[in-house]
Amino acid sequence: MLPTPLLDLATQVLDRAKARGVMIATAESCTGGLIAGCLTEIAGSSAVVERGFVTYSNEAKTEMLGVPAETIASVGAVSEEVARAMAEGALERSRAGLTVAVTGVAGPGGGSAEKPVGLVHFGCAMDGGETVHRREVFPGDRSAVREATVRTALEMLLGRL
């Protein structure tokens, strides 16, 4: 069961997207589909949610979203460049007019001095608009980081609508 505040936020996103006739796609790494899952928890979401890409591996990011392997090799999967490329790739490879992408270190392991546990990069792309980026370092355990990531992604979508 998803927390009520997340479902309330998802409902706002869906309502606003439906009113504007905008379809949404997600491109998710560290959340493993939770953003799409939160949106599709709401009845009637099929009017707005076009698809979700779960691209947990680097290969999936390249194969499914067209993220250049060279970019991942040079800056790492958890980076602004990859988050932007994921969002843009989801826009190009779907019928959606608005996308959100997330890539991060949910923990408890996998962090480093320059990419600590809790670091998440977000990308949000829209037809005819600029791709925006956001960087956050969320506190807490794996569940807390993933929940905060879903909330922030939904807020980004709402902000673009």
> 22-75 pLDDT, tens per residue?
999 999 999 999 999 999 999 999 999 999 999 999 999 999 999 999 999 999
Does position 152 have pLDDT exceeding 80, yes or no? yes
Beta strand 119-126 with 98-104 is: antiparallel
Secondary structure letter of residue 45 according to DSSP = G
Q: Is the peptide bond before 5 cis (omega within 30 degrees of 0)?
A: no
pLDDT score, position 126: 97
pLDDT score, position 111: 86
**Quick one: average pLDDT of 9-29?**
98
Nearest to 52 by CA among 12, 20, 79, 86: 86
Q: Where are the beta strands (DSSP E) in 8-137?
A: 24-28, 49-54, 98-104, 119-126, 132-137
Yes or no: say if 142 and 102 are a contact pair by the CB < 8 Å rule: no
The label of the residue with tokens 């790739």 reads 89
> Residues 120-141: pLDDT tens digits?
999 999 999 999 999 999 999 9
Q: Rounded distance, CA 119 to CA 97, Å?
A: 27
18 CB-contact burial (10 Å; exposed 0-12 / middle 13-18 / buried 19+):
middle
Half-sphere exposure of 92 (CA within 13 A, CB side): 11
Give the pLDDT band of residue 2 (cuts 50, 70, 90). Answer: confident
Q: Rounded distance, CA 7 to CA 26, Å?
A: 16
Secondary structure letter of residue 141 according to DSSP = S
Does position 1 have pLDDT exceeding 90, yes or no? no
Length of the chain, in residues: 161
